[in-house]
Amino acid sequence: MDTLDELATWGLVPPVVVADAGYGQNADFRAGLADRDIAYVVAIRSDVTAHPHHADTRCPALVRPWPPAAAPLPGQAVPGGRPGHQPWTAGIQ
């Protein structure tokens, strides 16, 4: 960062900084570049997270369309189509 700050005192700002994983895994380095509005491309290891600290990383609940859009198979009874037949949705809360 000191080198980039010294360049800035000379009126020089790099259009982009490219760095290896040694710098890429350093969150303070990435934040320093972002604070200085310098675009960057850095390598990171697969175990490094690259999202804001306050990000919610939990998986959302699975949402499925209800009822399913699939049509009944040939010869399959249509729910509610015959007396005494219970539709496939019966008992689902």
Q: Is 33 exposed, middle or buried (0-12, 13-18, 19+ CB in 10 A)?
A: buried
Per-residue pLDDT, averaged over 53-76, amounts to: 69
State the pLDDT confidence band at 5, using cuts at 50, 70 and 90: very high
Give all strands (DSSP E) within the chain, no chain letters: 16-19, 39-42
Residue-range domain boundaries for the chain: 2-42
18-59 pLDDT, tens digit each: 999 999 888 899 999 999 999 999 998 888 766 777 888 787
Output the CA–CA distances (angstroms, integers) from residue 39 to 1, 7, 46, 72, in the order listed. Answer: 14, 15, 21, 54
- Which H or E element spans position 56? none
Contact call for residues 80 and 87 (beta carbons, < 8 A): yes
Is the pLDDT at 17 greater than 90? The verdict is yes
Identify which has the larger pLDDT, 22 or 82. Answer: 22
pLDDT at 47: 81
